[in-house]
Structure 1
Amino acid sequence: MSIKPDEAYATFISGFSCSAAVLSSFAEELGLDKETAYKIACGFGSGLSRTDNICGAVSGAIMVIGLKYGKVTPKDNAARDKTQMLVQQFLREFAKKNSSVNCTDLLGYNLGNPEEYAMARDKKLFVTKCPALVRDATEILEKLL
């Protein structure tokens, strides 16, 4: 049994973004140190920096897939195709489990709106809902990789 979901959960709870928590839990095995993973993923949390977009845990997972399988030469379309297929599969599985991949849909609040952000914070969604999404993303990733 893997510890990655627990590691991602603990990283998120410690104060890193959902995207950083997911990416960093796979970083070292993919040749990326954790500090660099935290930096790369920093702007992807909270629905792409509170812009009413894709969930940061989902963004972190997509980065992991890209690091593992992504295209590194212009003509390596097989790598591109595999990456896109795995991203699509991840998105389907995450949405099936959580009803969406969009941060606003998942939380019920648009974090880009200061009043809605405050409501989400007051309802403690960042300590109740978001950690579960981080864990879900990590668990789905492990099955796909």
Structure 2
Amino acid sequence: MKKHEKRITKEALSNMILGYTCSESIILAISKYLKIKTKIIPKIATGFSAGIGRMGNVCGAISGGVMIIGLIYGRLNPNDTEKYEQCIGKVQKLIMEFKNRNGEIECEKLIGLKLSRSEDRERFKMERVKEKLCMKFVEDVISILMEVMGEEN
């Protein structure tokens, strides 16, 4: 999968330019690469935007990455503790590496805006925060996902 990182990243950034959010863009790009076709993508990712419902919590790019890890490594059976531990371990690696690269994992702290406020949403647009910061976070998450998932898929 690592060898396809540039193509997946380009697809995710194109999704953002079209108007999709960080979480939607990541899940769309990687699920397309993995040939996962379902009507729930990108819908399942929409509420994770701007730190979960514009509340400034965990970055939407991270949330999109967590959803991808769950799609690939998640369990179907509650007794499958091996799959559970594998999935949780990969999620932890994603979050720790993102924090190492960016210093924070919360949207509000990463971009310096409270997107729950209309005036900050306006600043987000006017100051091109998506282009200046969020696209980099999407690139980082995809890069980390490629490392975490390795050549397994």
Q: 1:50 aligns with which of 28, 51, 54?
A: 54
The 5-angstrom pairing of residues 127-138 of structure 1 reads 127-138=131-142
Equivalent of residue 30 in structure 2, options 21, 26, 34: 26
CA positional deviation for 1:26: 1.5
- CA shift, 1:120, in A, is 2.4
Answer yes or no: is 1:108 the counterpart of 2:126.
no
Query: What is the CA deviation profile of residues 108-140 of structure 1, one whole-angstrom value per residue up to 9, with x for unaligned ones?
Result: 111112222222222110222111111111111
Aligned-residue sequence identity (percent) comes to: 30
* Farther-moved stretch of structure 1 (30-39 vs 100-109): 30-39
Give the TM-score normalised by structure 2. 0.88
Distance of 1:120 and 1:113 partners within structure 2: 11
The Cα of 1:72 is off from its aligned counterpart by 0.8
Shift of residue 61, structure 1, vs aligned partner: 0.1
Give distance in 2, aligned partners of 1:31 and 1:9: 18
User: 1:1-145 counterparts in 2 under 5 A?
Assistant: 1-2=3-4, 3-30=7-34, 32-33=36-37, 35-145=39-149
CA 1:60 to 1:13, structure 2 compared with 1: closer, same or farther past 3 Å? Answer: same
Which runs of at least 4 in structure 1 moved beyond 4 Å after TM superposition?
none
- Corresponding residue pairs, total: 145
The range that moved more, 122-131 or 64-73, is: 122-131
Q: How far apart are residue 36 of structure 1 and its match?
A: 2.9
> What letter matches 1:142 in structure 2?
M
* Length-normalised TM-score, structure 1: 0.92
Q: State the superposition RMSD in angstroms.
A: 1.5
Task: Give, in angstroms, the shift of residue 53 of structure 1.
Answer: 1.0
